[in-house]
Copies of this chain bind each other. A is one copy, B any other.
Amino acid sequence: MAWVLTLAATAPARADEGMWPLDKVPVDKIKAAYGVTLDQAWLDAAQAAAIRLSDGCSGGIVSPEGLVATNNHCVAECAQGLAGPGRDYVRDGFLTNARDEELKCAGLQAEALLSIIEVTDQVRAAAAGKTGEEFSRARDAAMALAEVAACGGEAGLRCQAISFFRGGQYKVYKYRRYADVRLVFAPEQAASAFGGDPDNFNFPRHGFDVAFLRLYVDGRPAATPRFLKWREHAPTDGEVSFIVGNPGSTDRQLTVAQLETQRDLTLPFGQLQRAELRGRLTQFSTESGERARLIAPALASIENSYKAIQGRQKALNDKDFMAAKQAAETALRARIAADPKWSVEVGDAWDRIARAQVAALDLFAPVRQLETGAGGGSDLFYLARLLVRAAQERDKANADRLPEYVDTRLPMIERRVLDTQPDEPTVEQIYLEQWLLKTRELLTVDAPQVRVMLGRESPAALAEKLAHSRVGDPAFRKALWQGGIEAIEDSNDPLVQLVRRTDHGARVARAAWEKTVSGPVDTAAEKIARARFALLGDTDYPDATFTLRLSYGKVAGWRERDGLVAPFTTFGGLYDRATGAAPFAVAPRWLKARAKLNPDTVFDFVTSNDIIGGNSGSPVLDAAGEVMGVAFDGNIHSLGGAYGYDGARNRAISVSAVAVSEALAKVYGRNALLRELTGP
């Protein structure tokens, strides 16, 4: 029933709800709730030290020499990339003793937010009076112009125009960009991911999911005089907590009709395929230790997304939650209907969205299997499609291309084509076969697109050929990229040919979807968003957009079916929970250090902050702005946060700063790093 209290459209966000942009933090509300005043200096300090990582994570600067605290799962790809024969940094950890041992993470970039620039009026003005595709183009052009205007040509900056409230507001976020980010400290996976999939999104938790990076400029550690102080005492029950980071995406402003589509169609559709693929990968991994190692990242990723989607599904299946959403929608509609201007402007927007959902019933399976989810996760397919489509689209004028292939995007696509490293063929083959099997099942054998796809071959036999495509060879890809459409059309590679012969069906499915579902929905949603914004004022927070936000809350357990869940775990609890069998086997270094560690040290803790994926690695700050921990997960109820915040149960999970300090000293012996964090 907690939902009912927090979701009414006309009520302000309650309790600890909200992912607040840094230029509209509700300081009065926070003061009223917690007696803490966040003055501009506090907010500026938090913003100056907040980091956005290009792999979809967050972090916080914690020393004057560019040291950044984040999660180990945020640097796993970096650690894996640095590994080589005889060096498995994911399994063993990556521990440096001196600056010259810090190694660059290939492709990882960091950004620090400098300022937020309001550009709503100019974007609106450019698009005024236009509709449909013309509207989109004018808006996009105005946003691009605003980015250029804000950043000028200055090196080391990045400007990004963002649409908030689905078109209700436009702002440019201006960042300082760090292109040289190096790995300083990453613990062994057995410590950071202790509990594995069973403990993921659960609490009590005993994960040492912390890692340190360092920002470099001109080959030297960046000077970062504005950094966050690492706190030396444990979080306490009920203490106020602030999390500053970049929540990736939420869907809190969808209509009830759209939520029902997610509940009944899109989430189950994807989840059933995910479950079956997970079963295949699990079985594959049981065949040998080498296979288990090979498949581990793919399996962990699918387990994580499986659980995340289960959490979202659970929220949507909650009748109270949906009733609250319905009540909020009804209230907003009434409010708009009562307004002479906006009732005309919005018109039948909700009904148009609802009608699009009916169309989605038939159009979703083709667009999912042939276009948005084509290849079923195969990197090879992804690369082959980029090659084929880029060659096709480059021959067209910019205005006629698929938007992801316009000139300004081509350099990024080229980099992806040349740099992406596909999986082993055995793994690629599983993804491809599974995709072919399910596409045949879901669209039926008699669908023309399926006949074109399979010809007279079985999914298994075709997938085996595709998995050995030469697209796996970077030189082959380079030749195709440079050869353009002629090279593509001449190629006898089975995967290139598959992509070519299925491309027409995929484009048709996509066009049908955009024309009948996503196009009408976007247009209608923007009308609603603008009305909402105009009528309710700028006091609400927008859906997450992987931009910097502050959330507030407190250290607090919650009530679960069978009792209260305490807000803390301790080092002692780690050893109690261990069984010796993975994923509940304590890492050797931690076994050895057991006697030295204080069993009562707070290890992980939960807070009521409203965060979501993308917030991984965010610093958790106290009233004084000191780092009390690093956020790395949410509990199972936080997953419903995609659609709405339930203050009674939604919890963020963090590793405490004191646990990090004690482990650096007693488990890892990283005294230089510890001194950099806490001072001499």
Contacts and interface: CB of A to CB of B under 8 A. Distances in A.
Contact of A461 (B276, B281, B581): B581
Nearest to A463: B286
A197 B441 contact: yes
How many copies are assembled? 2
A446 B440 CA distance: 41
Interface residues of A, number: 48
Nearest to A195: B445
Interface in A455-491: 455-458, 460-461
Interface in A549-587: 561, 579-582, 584
Contact of A276 (B275, B317, B580): B275
Nearest to A583: B458
18 contacts: A198-B440, A198-B445, A199-B445, A202-B444, A265-B317, A268-B313, A272-B275, A275-B279, A279-B279, A279-B280, A280-B280, A282-B437, A283-B283, A283-B430, A445-B584, A458-B581, A458-B582, A458-B584
A497 interface: no
A123 to B, nearest CB: 38
Contacts of A561: 362
Interface in A183-197: 195, 197
A357 to B, nearest CB: 10
Contact of A446 (B204, B268, B272, B434): B204
A264 B581 contact: no
A286 B444 contact: no
A446 B635 CA distance: 14
B581 A457 contact: yes
Contacts of A286: 460
A361 to B, nearest CB: 9
Interface in A241-279: 264-265, 268, 271-273, 275-279
Contacts of A455: 579
A284 interface: yes
Interface string A436-456: 010011001110000000111
A440 B457 CA distance: 40
Interface of A: 195, 197-199, 202, 204, 264-265, 268, 271-273, 275-284, 286-287, 313, 317, 362, 430, 434, 437, 440-441, 444-446, 454-458, 460-461, 561, 579-582, 584
Contacts of A265: 317
Contact of A280 (B202, B283, B434): B283
A264 B267 CA distance: 12
A367 B197 CA distance: 23
Nearest to A445: B198
A302 to B, nearest CB: 10
Contacts of A460: 286
A444 B199 CA distance: 8
Contacts of A282: 276, 279-280, 437
Nearest to A316: B264
Q: Which of A195, A278, A445, A454 has the most CB of B within 10 A?
A: A445
A114 B12 CA distance: 72
The 9 A-B residue pairs with the shortest CB-CB distance, nearest first, are A279-B279, A458-B581, A275-B275, A283-B283, A456-B579, A276-B279, A280-B283, A279-B280, A275-B276
Contacts of A273: 275
B441 A198 contact: yes
A3 to B, nearest CB: 15
Contacts of A283: 279-281, 283-284, 430
B317 A264 contact: yes
Contact of A198 (B271, B444, B456): B444
Contacts of A456: 579-581
Nearest to A278: B276
A67 B286 CA distance: 49
A134 B488 CA distance: 78
Contacts of A580: 456
A604 to B, nearest CB: 14
Q: Which of A279, A434, A455, A580 has the most CB of B within 10 A?
A: A279
A273 B276 CA distance: 9
A456 to B, nearest CB: 4
Contacts of A279: 275-283, 434
Contacts of A317: 264-265
Contacts of A287: 287
Nearest to A448: B562
A275 to B, nearest CB: 4
Contacts of A277: 279
Nearest to A579: B456
Contacts of A454: 579
A279 B454 CA distance: 21
Nearest to A317: B264
A204 B283 CA distance: 34
Nearest to A272: B275
Contacts of A202: 444-445
Nearest to A455: B579
A448 to B, nearest CB: 9
A277 B446 CA distance: 27
A278 B581 CA distance: 26
Contacts of A457: 579, 581
A455 B581 CA distance: 11
Given A264-B317, A457-B579, 8 more contacts: A197-B441, A199-B445, A204-B446, A279-B282, A280-B280, A280-B283, A282-B437, A458-B582
A580 B457 CA distance: 8
Contacts of A446: 204
Nearest to A429: B286
A83 to B, nearest CB: 26
Contacts of A275: 272-273, 275-276, 279
A619 to B, nearest CB: 29
A331 B197 CA distance: 48
Nearest to A286: B460
A461 B461 CA distance: 34
A341 B552 CA distance: 59
A442 to B, nearest CB: 10
A386 B282 CA distance: 30
